[in-house]
Amino acid sequence: MSETSNHLVAVYPGSFDPITNGHLDLVERCAPLVDRLVVAVLRNAHKNPLFSLEERVEMLREVLQPFPNVEIDSFDGLLVDYARHKKAQLLLRGIRAISDYEYELQMALMNRRLAPEIETMFMMAGEAYSFLSSKLVKEVIGLGGNISGLVPPSVEARLKQRFPGVG
């Protein structure tokens, strides 16, 4: 281990548009395993998010406030460059299904090639969240469906503001 690795720092990247209870579950399970967990919102010009970067960061701060070792940030560019900047040794990725694994494996292998000193840790989604994605939450509420229990209450309130007429 190098001198900088006496504190285990992990980065959990994502678009978090919005954060779901599945994301929250991973944070709850990973935060006790590391000294610092950086939840990093990707600024992706190719995606058209429902919430602005600032709104996503604000939602994460609200929801993750109870975790003293969790830091909220945003980044663009290569994840491994950002992880190096944060002195992280670990990348956290959630896996819901085999289809996630195929994509995540490809990304992990590329990241390992670019930054062999940074490991990727896959955490399986909790059973209750194995189907859950931000995209699906937005589709369901957009069609008038009930999303309670799928996202934190403060996030549900924000979604209902974005989709007027939804109960």
3 state SS for the chain:
CCHHHHCCEEEEEECCCCCCHHHHHHHHHHHHHCCEEEEEEECCCCCCCCCCHHHHHHHHHHHHCCCCCEEEEEECCCHHHHHHHCCCCEEEEEECCHHHHHHHHHHHHHHHHHCCCCEEEEEECCHHHCCCCHHHHHHHHHCCCCCECCECHHHHHHHHHHCCCCC
pLDDT at 56: 97
pLDDT at 166: 66
Superfamily of structural domain 3-129: HUPs (3.40.50.620)
pLDDT at 167: 57
pLDDT at 4: 46
pLDDT at 5: 46
Q: Is 29 a catalytic residue?
A: no
| Residue ranges per structural domain of the chain | 3-129
pLDDT at 42: 94
Q: Is 84 a catalytic residue?
A: no
Catalytic residue among 15, 56, 93, 134: 134
Stated pTM of the model: 0.92
Catalytic residue among 36, 43, 84, 96: 96
Low-confidence stretches of the chain (pLDDT < 70) are 1-5, 45, 166-167
Catalytic residue among 7, 47, 85, 87: 47
